[in-house]
Amino acid sequence: MAATGCSEDTGPVTTTSQHPVGSRYRDPELTTLPRSTPTIEQQLAHRSVRAFLDTPVGDDELTALIAAAQSASTSSNLQAWSVVAVRDPERKDRLATLAGDQEFIRRAPLLLVWLADLGRAGRLAASRRAALEATEYLESTVLGFVDASLAAQNAVVAAESLGLGAVFVGAIRNNPDGVAAELHLPDRVFATFGLAVGVPDLTESAGVKPRLPQQAVLHHEVYSEAGDATIEGYDTRLAEYNAEHGRSAGWTDAVLNRLRDRDSLKGRHLLREHLGRQGFPSK
């Protein structure tokens, strides 16, 4: 759903099978929103897109996405992130191979690789012969990851408001040395994840994937495990969604399989060593 530019409250939302609220939860316990705006409805309608048309994403769109990304919050205004826009088919092909050999990366007209970037601060410090000891600590590594993530999510919301679709690519971290070499990343710069962007191919079998009930993620005042009781029902709803699109898994099995052992990390168990080589000691 494209943004309309309207920001006023629209009051209660009536849920139908087609309304974003119903699709997002498929939960009879949450069938209306007491407050909503077009922006919220756009966010509720978000889905990952892995099938793209050949339509290019032009420089005008890219400029808008980066402006939205730079409008995200950033810790202490350090702006500790950068992004590499990749359109060259040969480079996308090499990055796709490094990132789990996923074909949608090759098909997307634009691949954005989001970087935790302390290198810019490092170059400023070198130019002024200033100390930069704080970048050696884990807090600074986390800060770069958080800044990049906030910026990228802003870009996704902007892209969807322009009629584009996108999907995050965590597999960029499968082979971080190869990605760093491909993108010529300097010291103190790390590729956190990718984002494939393009015009969605509406023939793709995909929809709005249901999320956990709010009771499972929303805690009041202190953390509580009581919301775990809602997971069984969510497993059923997600399995129904997956069956509609030719898949069979529920949520619990997928989570446990994804976190089962070192092999399930697809090479990412070596990230600490790569971060050290890339100038993130993370002490």
Domains annotated on the chain, with CATH: 59-204+265-277 (3.40.109.10)
- Point out the residues of the chain with pLDDT beneath 50: 1-17
Q: What's the rounded Cα separation, in Å, for the pair 10 and 7? A: 9
Cβ neighbors of 144 (< 8 A, separation 6 or more) are 80, 81, 116, 117, 118, 190, 192, 280
- What is the predicted pLDDT for the residue at 11? 37
pLDDT of amino acid 14: 35
Structure token pair of residue 219: 């805690």
State pLDDT tens for residues 145-202: 999 999 999 999 999 999 999 999 999 999 999 999 999 999 999 999 999 999 999 9
The single residue listed with the structure tokens 């495990």 is 225
What pLDDT is attached to residue 109? Answer: 98
pLDDT, position 62? 98
pLDDT for the residue numbered 13:
34
pLDDT tens track for 133-161:
999 999 999 999 999 999 999 999 999 99
Residue 22 is predicted with a pLDDT of 86
Helices (H) and strands (E) in the chain, counts: 12, 4
Report the pLDDT value the prediction gives residue 1, as an integer from 0 to 100: 34
Q: What is the pLDDT of residue 10?
A: 34
Give the Å distances, CA to CA, from 97 to 110, 118, 268: 16, 27, 15
